[in-house]
A and B are shown apart, each in its own frame.
Chain A
Amino acid sequence: GAVVSQHPSWVICKSGTSVKIECRSLDFQATTMFWYRQFPKQSLMLMATSNEGSKATYEQGVEKDKFLINHASLTLSTLTVTSAHPEDSSFYICSAPGTPIYEQYFGPGTRLTVT
């Protein structure tokens, strides 16, 4: 099946710094990618929908200036957590829709810890 990779798989950063997470579709082109966040023992919450060549669509309550999304090519979307704070520590997962559209190919996730 389709493969989506994420990098890094885990990252520890200091409060106030920025962290970039990459999501790549390895064997297919993805004009759309999704970014999720998952806190411990909670569900995956959609943060934003990333669209190749245009602005991302953010879910209500997600700060677009804090979580910068860039989908510059058909195989790469990036999420940058700017001025990270400890409350941003979470598991960030990207996915790309398959065929049919409701089938999603998930990346392995990135565990972010902000100290």
Chain B
Amino acid sequence: RKEVEQDPGPFNVPEGATVAFNCTYSNSASQSFFWYRQDCRKEPKLLMSVYSSGNEDGRFTAQLNRASQYISLLIRDSKLSDSATYLCVVYTGGFKTIFGAGTRLFVKA
């Protein structure tokens, strides 16, 4: 079992749609959780951190369920510019950070 698993997609959605990504992690001792965005042939960029209480940044909402070891990202009112790969990232302590393989999103006009 992979340490961080994501649905690879791709998700093809029209502009304005709401889309949700899921991620599960295997290490129950994991400490911090993040969503990164990676554009084609570019480095990953931090989108947002994920907390048990949930957090929202504009059209993006992230949620963590520690009991189920599950992380989610919700994107509302999708824009063309949201097209990218979204990486679920788990920090397990020390210098150890595990990246999911990513979920590809295509937003179409």
Contact = CB atoms under 8 A, between A and B. Distances in A.
Interface in A48-98: 49, 91, 93, 97
Contacts of A102: 31-32, 34, 91, 97
Contact of A43 (B41, B87, B95): B87
A97 B99 CA distance: 15
B43 A109 contact: yes
Closest 10 CB pairs of A and B: A102-B91, A106-B43, A43-B101, A44-B99, A43-B99, A109-B43, A102-B32, A108-B43, A93-B43, A42-B101
A104 B90 CA distance: 12
Interface range on chain B (Cβ under 8 Å from partner): 10 to 19
Interface in B78-109: 87, 91, 95, 97, 99-102
Contacts of A93: 43-44
A49 B91 CA distance: 15
Given A42-B101, A43-B87, A32 B95 contact: yes
B8 A109 contact: no
